[in-house]
Structure 1
Amino acid sequence: MRKTLFDPKISDHRGRIVKNTGDGALVEFGSVVDALRCAVEIQRGMAEQNIDVPQVKRIEFRIGIHVGDIVIEENDIFGDGVNIAVRIEEIAEPGGISISDDAHRQIRGKVDITFEDTGSQSLKNIAEPIRVWRVRIVPISSPAMVTHLSSETAQPLPFPDKPSIAVLPFQNMSGDPEQEYFADGMVEDIITGLSRSKSLFVIARHSTFTYKGTAVDIKQVGHELGVRYVLEGSVRKAGNRVRISGQLIDAATGAHLWADRFDSQLDDIFDLQDRVTMNVIGAISPKLERAEIDRAKRKPTENLHAYDYYLRALACVYRIAREANIQALKLTKKAIRRDPEFALSYALGARCYVQRKGFGWRIDTVAQEIAEARRLARRALELDRDDPSVLAWAGYALAYVVGEVEEGAALASRAITLDPNLATARHWGGWVHLYLGDVDAAIEQFEVASRLNPLDQRIFNVQTGLAYAHFFAGRNEEASTWATTALRQQPDYRPAQFILAACHAMSGRIEEAREI
């Protein structure tokens, strides 16, 4: 492996192997851009070599990159720059790359690579938390794909039969990195407002956020997501005032269709989101009725402290990590204490238990976690049975964690009726159809979810669902391919491990099934 892949790639990108450390290596580059390109090529090469290798026998690297001062002594290097790189490598995913904020600042705009902000991380033996970015290497949308096609060779997704839009992450103009979650939350709510229009096709948040922190080409975004329109903008929060600036662009021509700036007091933040949403709708099609996207004059909460905790919890859930899950649940409890009638916080708490079960992160006994998931889901539904996200999150918690499948299916169906663009409701609805034995309906929902959210980092969940669906339909080889694809994305995802073991067993590959 070293002679055929590792060493040649380092040499090609002008790197120097300082030393080998048993199962790892310390490498120095004169350019952080060279370092990143080398890392990406190594990980892509490893992914290709692992295609036909059983999960338990694969060799997968973690790579960490940092820019900093070092001390050179004979055949070694030392210093904080090295220490930070080592600690960032330790928190990278298997087969993945993580980089420091210092590295990200120097790389941004110089490479055609997407980054995901994982927020400030407390690293072992490093005094201050460090902001870390995850590199997106292989967004997989079909089992045959093992590398991300370049924009020149990738086939554009076909346009839906109605106006389609993607809302890109808004730039945080507050000057405070800690306000990043607030800017992200504003975008999420604008996406939610737009998606409730049955006359629009709206790309889900998880796909548009793969462009976060990158210099984007709007035409390329339209090409990759299959949308006619792109909304981009910025958020500035200072004290009790918020300013949102936005511009709507025709992705095919690059023409600006609309641009405006909105100012508001923090207490009126939900009205501000509605104004942005309505202006975008008006620019796309004056014939669209306001009633379709009207938030029914309902604010999710009157308590802005509760809303703030909710946004922080949501950001933690999206990190897909055990400690982040624990933190998310703590934050939902704080939101609930601030506003005991804030339905979304209860539903998000129930969603935390879904994530715990899927990754085997349980902390309490099974009975305790089931009881708490049921309590949170039930309370969310008591407070609001008209919010699609509440219905989807609470419904799936009842189906998956608690085992109340029929009710979960009914709730998912109602969520889709209220918001046909809610990718979460689609992919969890697919799972509930599987539990009820309706394979064709499950595949249909998974495919819609994939189209609404083509670049989602959680695509492994949909791929795993497709694996189960094809397995139950007797298409064992196709099921095995989907399960393998999902595990390349998330090697620790238990449902994918289970179904791949079943596929091997049914194919007579008993030893491989045992290993998994």
Structure 2
Amino acid sequence: MERRLAAVLALDMVGYSRLMGADEEGTLAAFDRHHRTIFNPRARQYGGHIVKTTGDGALVEFPSVVDSIRFAVEVQADLERGNAGREPDRQFQYRIGINIGDIVFKDGDIYGDGVNIASRLQELAEPGGICLAGSTLEHVRGKLDLSIQPLGTKQVKNIAEPVSVYKVALDKKARALTTTPPVSPVRVGGGKLTTAVAMVMALLIAAIAGAWFWGSWEADPSAVERLAYPLPDKPSIAVLPFINVGGEEEQEHLSMGLTDDLITELSKVGGLFVIARHSVFALGDTTRNIREVASELGVKFVLEGSLQRTDSRVRINVSLIDALTGSSMWAEHYDRQFADIFAVRDDVVRHIISALAVKLSEGESELLAQLPTENLEAYDYYLRAEKEGFLYSDVHTYRRSLSFYQRAIDLAPSFAAAHAGIARVAVDVWRNDYNLIWSAAVARKIAYDAAGQALNLDSKNARAHTVLALIQLVDGRHAEAIDSAKRAVTAQPNDAEAIGNLALVLAHTGDREGARREIDKAMRFDPAPSANFQLLAGVTLYTARENERAIKLLESARGKLPDNEPIAEYRAAAYAHQADLEKASLSAAELLALFPDSNLTYYGYLYDYWREEDRKYHLDGLRLAGVTEWPFGFEGREADLLKGEQLKEIVANRSWVGKHKNGTEFFQYFDSAGNTAYRSENTNITGVVEVRDGQLCENFPGYFMDRWTCGHVYRNRDGRESNLAYVHVSPQALKFFSPEKP
């Protein structure tokens, strides 16, 4: 058993018995639809875990009370939109209760008073409403702008002490918190299928032994003309998300994992053209048929299927369709032990290659013959990590991914893909400076070591080669970075991520034409890319001087990432180089709102691994957009600048006491040997300092990607913080202080 403090959310459909009596099939279909298109994606968005579902409700656990309330507000808003136009007695409403408490995890379920109170609060909520326990308020005060109204103290069933109950008003404040519904990674087909219908279809596939169960279409001569993209000169295929028959959240990682595994395996075949993972999942829940989907993605063939796991057995149905004619190329039903999952996957890949008459090279045959691991429990944890990695929307998803990858490695130390997964997370943490997980120095070392370990186990692991390429690029080892990026593409020639990273490396090493060519190729494989990939493509095209196209991608990614600062930064510079100074200025203002310390000196240090031509181009663009040389637009007077011995005098064996421009108080000690210790409310770090050419230069290992930064010290004569004698301006901060002897 595991015990921990968590936010528990209980939801229940209002009038379930009445609705079932009026329309049983429609009610079941509605709950299934709500689960797939609202509860699941919103839970993923806010880091929640759907512990279980009942016929008319669900129990969801969150590590954050704030996120549980945001989830509840979003769900009620989504349901309200879905009820628009329905008769009042045919609307689907839910009551929601939220409590924070100590809960016990056992056998995949949760127990304890924390759970029971959430269930009782749900019963007290109005139809379409949200009730909170008073214990939750301290955790959200000042963090959510919501109207919360007291309902008094209630005695609830099976709970000894009365509970203070509050109601969340779903008013303008609540509506202001809502966001665009996230894409639900579910099966795409000819209609919105209920679980029962999906199961009937699965049985029908097996019964007719390969006949296409939606019926065949007549060949359409104009089908090719309707494709969104020209067909490639090789067989092109999209693997649609497999249906999770039964709908259990616990098994969804398996259906997503099988889809992803098939895409990965097929992507190793140079004779195929395979649409990337994100683009097939981004299609979402839709009524479009197979032909329309194929047209949108620009492919000739579509693989679709379903998966159901029951105890130790797994049932999988697959069909390969020629989307231009509607004819079935191949179909199969598998009813096997779960231990045979790799054999099923390999059989599906083999039949696709055979049906499409693709000839494998000897190297490709060897790659496809490799098993990722023989440990199925490790593989299950790996799939869970990959499912989290589909979003990487915040620090919590990174942490969960790391936990699952590590469990996989603990069970199977030679599992190369799991080591590569850790390398991918670590390089993102390093590049995005997510210090809540690791410091930059630690993240870089973990990324490098994990990628190296993955390649020791599998020399053709594309993800590991890509991670090494990014590290080598920042280290200034350009030839090695290009070689590693190309090795990744050779290992997986259909992988949009590998190709996109090759494009980025080429852009930063001066091959603009090659960068444009490779990013165009990557986006053809991934025509509906994620926001992360849109940012990568936008930066690549910007560096290759394709500003108009870069701006479109950056605008599309805007507001969709946990850290939108890089998007604002590159938008500002790109608009400036397009001579649209109004939009450049607005983007710079957005950048300053996200990162008030933004300044040209900071970016000059951050991008010291860029070619000088590209770095100057970027800094000139930011300067035109209105980004200042130093933080907060500081400009010191030459007469107030401390130089030489004056500067050394206030550094050696002194303590600085003062505050940052943002009001944060700090203390910094310097010894006579060049060591320093800095402390503020949130930071406690040590480093080294030097006085160089009239500037104070500092280095704090593990911060700012281990870079030295230099700045000036001025006498404070402009009236700000007049009780403090000096101003220290650096690329990272503007600090007012007075020196004291220890």
Amino acid at match of 2:441: A
3-state SS of the aligned residue for 2:407? Answer: helix
Equivalent residue runs for 1:103-182 within 5 Å: 109=191, 156-173=228-245, 176-182=248-254
Amino acid at match of 1:162: K
Q: Does 1:310 align with 2:407?
A: no
Q: Give the superposition deviation at 1:387.
A: 2.7
Amino acid at match of 2:391: R
Query: 1:385-432: per-residue Cα shift (whole Å, max 9, x none)?
Result: 12334433x335534677655434322211212321111111111112
Distance 1:403 1:378, change over 3 A: farther
Equivalent residue runs for 1:84-483 within 5 Å: 96-97=180-181, 109=191, 156-173=228-245, 176-285=248-357, 288-289=359-360, 291=362, 292-293=364-365, 295-321=367-393, 322-357=395-430, 359-363=432-436, 364-392=438-466, 394-399=467-472, 405-458=478-531, 460-473=532-545, 475-483=546-554
User: In 1, are the aligned partners of 2:534 and 2:554 still within 8 Å (CA)?
Assistant: no
3-state SS of the aligned residue for 1:356? Answer: helix
Amino acid at match of 1:156: A
Q: Give the superposition deviation at 1:200.
A: 1.2
Q: Give the superposition deviation at 1:94.
A: 7.5
User: In 2, are the aligned partners of 1:389 and 1:415 still within 8 Å (CA)?
Assistant: yes
Amino acid at match of 1:304: L
Distance 1:216 1:29, change over 3 A: closer
After TM superposition, the score normalised by the length of structure 2 is 0.49
Counterpart of 1:141?
A: none
Distance 1:383 1:500, change over 3 A: same
Counterpart of 1:79?
A: 126
Q: In the aligned structure 1, how far is the partner of 2:455 from the partner of 2:296?
A: 37
Equivalent residue in structure 1 for 2:570, among 499, 503, 513? 499
Counterpart of 2:197?
A: none
Query: 1:316-375: per-residue Cα shift (whole Å, max 9, x none)?
Result: 111222211111111111111111111111111111123335555332322222222222
Counterpart of 1:20?
A: none
Higher strand share: 2
After TM superposition, the score normalised by the length of structure 1 is 0.69
Query: 1:30-56: per-residue Cα shift (whole Å, max 9, x none)?
Result: 97535499xxxxxxxxxxxxxxxxxxx
3-state SS of the aligned residue for 2:494? Answer: coil
Distance 1:240 1:447, change over 3 A: same
Q: In the aligned structure 1, how far is the partner of 2:77 from the partner of 2:557?
A: 33
Distance 1:156 1:503, change over 3 A: closer
3-state SS of the aligned residue for 2:374? Answer: coil
Q: In the aligned structure 1, how far is the partner of 2:521 from the partner of 2:247?
A: 38
Q: Give the superposition deviation at 1:477.
A: 4.9
Q: Give the superposition deviation at 1:284.
A: 2.1
Give the CA RMSD over aligned residues. 4.0
Amino acid at match of 1:261: H
Counterpart of 2:32?
A: none
Q: In the aligned structure 2, how far is the partner of 1:273 from the partner of 1:174?
A: 21
Distance 1:471 1:405, change over 3 A: closer
User: In 1, are the aligned partners of 2:192 and 2:285 still within 8 Å (CA)?
Assistant: no
Q: Give the superposition deviation at 1:315.
A: 0.6
Query: 1:78-97: per-residue Cα shift (whole Å, max 9, x none)?
Result: 6363229989x989997522
Q: Give the superposition deviation at 1:242.
A: 2.3
Q: In the aligned structure 2, how far is the partner of 1:159 from the partner of 1:342?
A: 36
Equivalent residue in structure 2 for 1:485, among 548, 552, 556? 556
Structure 1: unaligned runs, 5 residues or longer: 1-23, 38-64, 71-76, 112-150
User: In 2, are the aligned partners of 1:335 and 1:345 still within 8 Å (CA)?
Assistant: yes
Q: Give the superposition deviation at 1:212.
A: 4.5
Q: Give the superposition deviation at 1:193.
A: 2.0
3-state SS of the aligned residue for 1:253? Answer: coil
Q: In the aligned structure 2, how far is the partner of 1:313 from the partner of 1:169?
A: 17
Q: Give the superposition deviation at 1:487.
A: 1.9
Distance 1:256 1:515, change over 3 A: closer
User: In 2, are the aligned partners of 1:92 and 1:98 still within 8 Å (CA)?
Assistant: no
Counterpart of 1:145?
A: none
Counterpart of 1:134?
A: none
Q: In the aligned structure 2, how far is the partner of 1:232 from the partner of 1:430?
A: 31
Query: 1:130-158: per-residue Cα shift (whole Å, max 9, x none)?
Result: xxxxxxxxxxxxxxxxxxxxx9x986221
- In the alignment of these two chains, the number of paired residues is 412
Query: 1:257-298: per-residue Cα shift (whole Å, max 9, x none)?
Result: 21111233333322221101111222222x634854553532
Distance 1:341 1:162, change over 3 A: same
Q: In the aligned structure 1, how far is the partner of 2:412 from the partner of 2:76?
A: 51
User: In 2, are the aligned partners of 1:353 and 1:401 still within 8 Å (CA)?
Assistant: no
3-state SS of the aligned residue for 1:81? Answer: coil
3-state SS of the aligned residue for 2:351? Answer: helix
Distance 1:259 1:109, change over 3 A: closer
Distance 1:319 1:402, change over 3 A: farther
Amino acid at match of 1:96: T
Query: 1:241-261: per-residue Cα shift (whole Å, max 9, x none)?
Result: 223211111111222221111
Distance 1:97 1:281, change over 3 A: same
Distance 1:253 1:437, change over 3 A: same
Distance 1:381 1:176, change over 3 A: same
Query: 1:144-173: per-residue Cα shift (whole Å, max 9, x none)?
Result: xxxxxxx9x986221111111111011112
Q: Give the greater-gyration-radius structure (CA).
A: 2
User: In 1, are the aligned partners of 2:268 and 2:492 still within 8 Å (CA)?
Assistant: yes
Name which of structure 1's ranges 293-302 and 156-165 shifts more when overlaid on structure 2. 293-302
Structure 2: unaligned runs, 5 residues or longer: 1-72, 97-123, 132-167, 194-222, 592-742
User: In 2, are the aligned partners of 1:464 and 1:496 still within 8 Å (CA)?
Assistant: no
Higher helix share: 1
Q: In the aligned structure 2, how far is the partner of 1:349 from the partner of 1:91?
A: 38
User: In 1, are the aligned partners of 2:192 and 2:286 still within 8 Å (CA)?
Assistant: no
Amino acid at match of 1:81: G
Q: In the aligned structure 1, how far is the partner of 2:348 from the partner of 2:227?
A: 32
Q: In the aligned structure 2, how far is the partner of 1:265 from the partner of 1:290?
A: 31
Counterpart of 2:94?
A: 68
Q: In the aligned structure 2, how far is the partner of 1:34 from the partner of 1:264?
A: 42
Name which of structure 1's ranges 358-367 and 430-439 shifts more when overlaid on structure 2. 358-367
Counterpart of 1:33?
A: 82
Name which of structure 1's ranges 367-376 and 208-217 shifts more when overlaid on structure 2. 208-217
